[in-house]
């Protein structure tokens, strides 16, 4: 929830009228579905029988999975609407219909209706607004990305009976919202329970840590709908640097402009869902080839961010912000044959910098720490430097991102990471 609020504040500074509507009568953090359920009922927002509803949650890869599946739908000429959390640059990104974001004026009009209902959080207002947004438009699919929670997430209130649910990888994150606030099995059990115990629809479970998978299966024990798991029901196989999708009935090669083994693993659940909805192989393959995911292993090919780099340098943006994500990210970056690798990092104070930075040790020539000027709850760059020093990681404090992107090397790889808000800020400057 705090992720949603903080990034909203960044975007709302640019849209003062929207800000007023979201702040009016709002409460930042109040768990529970009672308030939003009452508003949804009053506004007569209901699921329509002719639309397929998909919800996606987890700790990581939620947005990536949605973008992959959305690309498949586009090439299948299916009409869709989707909502994401958080956005990167503009709040309008949270309302997408057939490759177009909502107009700011329309969002303002919708929020003016929602804002009169007292006690809704920022996130709940946006969820209700999305319900209004899609209420009367022609759709084949409605897609919702869960925010911080699962069982008590506003998306659950909006799409209370989805046709399908995808569970992305689950790991330790948002420990400030758990009872134990520590990285231990009890906390992990608590996190998995919140994200999976309520699911009653057909569910696709992405690749998970073995301990997490056991907990998920236990929490889904009373779900009488179909349950399909990465590894046993579907998977992606890598052979000689080529990727193949496999399930009990299909086996075919897949290609994409995305990089990293785990990105292909994220594709698997989206592919399986597409196949189960009779979308042809040829369409799926076209969709995979044309996936565009901003801020997730995004290679920057043009813009102001490149102005101080040499032509042989490479710049990658990724919103990784927890240990699981940083481990995967560093592994992918290591596959690039660059002698000199640098990372520019900014993090928010709800994250654990120690576990996040550990995978960088010995893999990068130097880390640079900056404050995000558009984020009030960042971890001070000085504190990140202290953490890096204790981990014996070479690092330096910097004050300007564009100026930091300088090198005298003929060939260097630059990675900007640590927070989706940080990546959003950089993209806004590009």
Confidence of residue 9 (pLDDT cuts 50, 70, 90): very low
Confidence of residue 1 (pLDDT cuts 50, 70, 90): very low
pLDDT at 188: 84
64 closest CA partner among 169, 139, 164, 202 = 169
pLDDT at 408: 63
Q: What is the mean pLDDT of residues 402-428?
A: 87
Q: Where are the domains of the chain?
A: 2-289, 298-428
pLDDT at 429 over 70: yes
The CA distance from 377 to 392, in Å, is: 26
Task: State the residue for tokens 């329509």.
Answer: 48
pLDDT at 2 over 90: no
Q: Which of 95-109, 205-219, 393-407 has the lowest mean pLDDT?
A: 393-407
Within the chain, how many helices (H) and strands (E) appear? 16, 17
The CA distance from 360 to 73, in Å, is: 37
Confidence of residue 351 (pLDDT cuts 50, 70, 90): confident
pLDDT at 13: 47
Contact present, 313 and 414 (Cβ < 8 Å): yes
Q: What is the DSSP string of 186-222?
A: HHHHHHHHHHHTT--SEEEE----HHHHHHHHHHTTT
Mean pLDDT value across the chain: 88
Range among 73-82, 102-111, 336-345, 351-360 rated most confident:
73-82
pLDDT at 182: 60
pLDDT at 184: 57
| Same fold for the pair 2-289 and 298-428 | no
pLDDT at 27: 44
Question: Edge to edge, what strands does the sheet with 251-254 contain?
Answer: 234-239, 242-247, 251-254
Confidence of residue 73 (pLDDT cuts 50, 70, 90): very high
Please enumerate in sequence order all residues whose Cβ is within 8 A of that of 387, keeping only pairs 6 or more positions apart, or say none.
353, 354, 357
pLDDT at 235 over 90: yes
Q: What percent of the chain has pLDDT over 90?
A: 68
The CA distance from 55 to 389, in Å, is: 41
pLDDT at 366: 95
Burial of 244 (0-12, 13-18, 19+ CB in 10 A): middle
pLDDT at 414 over 90: yes
pLDDT at 83 over 80: yes
pLDDT at 43: 95
Q: How many other CB atoms are there within 10 angstroms of residue 98's CB atom?
A: 16
Q: What percent of the chain has pLDDT over 70?
A: 89
Tens of pLDDT, residue by residue over 185-221, are: 577 888 899 899 999 999 999 999 999 999 999 999 9
Provide the Cα torsion 296, 300, 301, 305; round to 10°.
Answer: 160
Largest interatomic CA distance in the chain: 62
pLDDT at 173: 59
Q: Does 78 sit behind a cis peptide bond, omega within 30 degrees of 0 on the bond before it?
A: no
Q: What is the mean pLDDT of residues 299-326?
A: 90
pLDDT at 406: 78
Report residue 89 as tokens: 């640059």
pLDDT at 247 over 60: yes
Tens of pLDDT, residue by residue over 115-158, are: 888 788 888 999 999 999 999 999 999 999 998 778 889 999 99
Q: Which residues pair with 317 in a beta bridge?
A: 298, 416
Q: Which residue has the higher pLDDT, 108 or 407?
A: 108
Confidence of residue 323 (pLDDT cuts 50, 70, 90): confident
Q: Which of 66-75, 139-148, 160-169, 174-183 has the lowest mean pLDDT?
A: 174-183
Indicate the CATH number for domain 2-289: 3.40.1190.10
pLDDT at 32: 81
| DSSP state at residue 361 | T
pLDDT at 411: 86
| Assigned architecture for domain 298-428 | Alpha-Beta Complex (3.90)
Three-state DSSP class for 50?
A: coil
Distance of CA 208 to the CA centre of its chain: 16
pLDDT at 183: 58
Whole-model pTM?
0.86
Q: What is the mean pLDDT of residues 285-310?
A: 91
């Amino acid at each position: 929830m705090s992720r949603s609020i903080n990034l909203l504040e960044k975007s709302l500074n640019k849209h003062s009228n929207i800000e007023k509507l979201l702040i009016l009568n709002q409460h930042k953090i109040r768990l529970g579905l009672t308030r939003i359920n009452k508003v949804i009922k009053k506004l007569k927002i209901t699921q329509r029988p002719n639309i397929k509803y998909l919800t996606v949650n987890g700790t990581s890869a939620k947005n990536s999975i949605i973008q992959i599946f959305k690309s498949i739908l586009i090439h299948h000429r299916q009409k869709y609407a989707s909502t994401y959390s958080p956005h990167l640059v503009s709040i309008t990104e949270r309302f997408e219909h057939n490759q177009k974001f909502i107009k700011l004026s329309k969002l303002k009009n919708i929020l003016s209706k929602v804002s009169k209902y007292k006690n809704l959080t920022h996130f709940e207002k946006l969820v209700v607004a999305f319900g209004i947004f899609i209420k009367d438009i022609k759709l084949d699919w409605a897609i919702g990305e869960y925010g911080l929670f699962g069982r008590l997430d506003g998306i659950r209130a909006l799409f209370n009976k989805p046709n399908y649910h995808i569970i992305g990888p689950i790991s330790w994150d948002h420990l400030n919202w758990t009872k134990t606030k520590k990285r231990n099995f009890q906390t992990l059990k608590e996190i998995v329970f919140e994200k999976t115990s309520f699911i009653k629809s057909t569910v696709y479970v992405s690749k998970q840590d073995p301990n997490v998978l056991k907990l998920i299966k236990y929490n889904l024990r009373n779900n009488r709908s179909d349950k399909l798991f990465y590894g046993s029901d579907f998977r992606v196989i890598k052979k000689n640097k080529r990727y193949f999708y496999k399930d009990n009935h299909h086996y075919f090669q897949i290609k994409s402009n995305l990089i990293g083994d785990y990105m292909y693993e994220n594709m698997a659940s989206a592919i399986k869902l597409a196949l189960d909805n009779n979308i042809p192989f040829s369409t799926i393959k076209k969709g995979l080839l044309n996936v565009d995911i901003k801020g997730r292993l995004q290679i920057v090919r043009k813009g102001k961010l490149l102005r101080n780099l040499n032509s042989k340098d490479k710049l990658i943006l990724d919103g990784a912000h927890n240990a699981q994500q940083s481990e995967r990210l560093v592994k992918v970056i290591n596959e690039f044959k660059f002698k000199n690798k640098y990372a520019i990092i900014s993090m928010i104070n709800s994250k654990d910098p120690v576990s996040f930075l550990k995978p960088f040790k010995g893999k990068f020539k130097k880390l640079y720490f900056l404050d995000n000027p558009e984020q009030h709850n960042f971890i001070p760059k000085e504190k990140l430097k202290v953490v890096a020093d204790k981990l014996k990681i070479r690092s330096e404090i910097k004050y300007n991102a564009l100026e930091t992107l300088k090198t005298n090397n003929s060939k260097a790889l630059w990675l900007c990471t640590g927070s989706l808000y940080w990546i959003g800020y950089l993209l806004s400057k590009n």
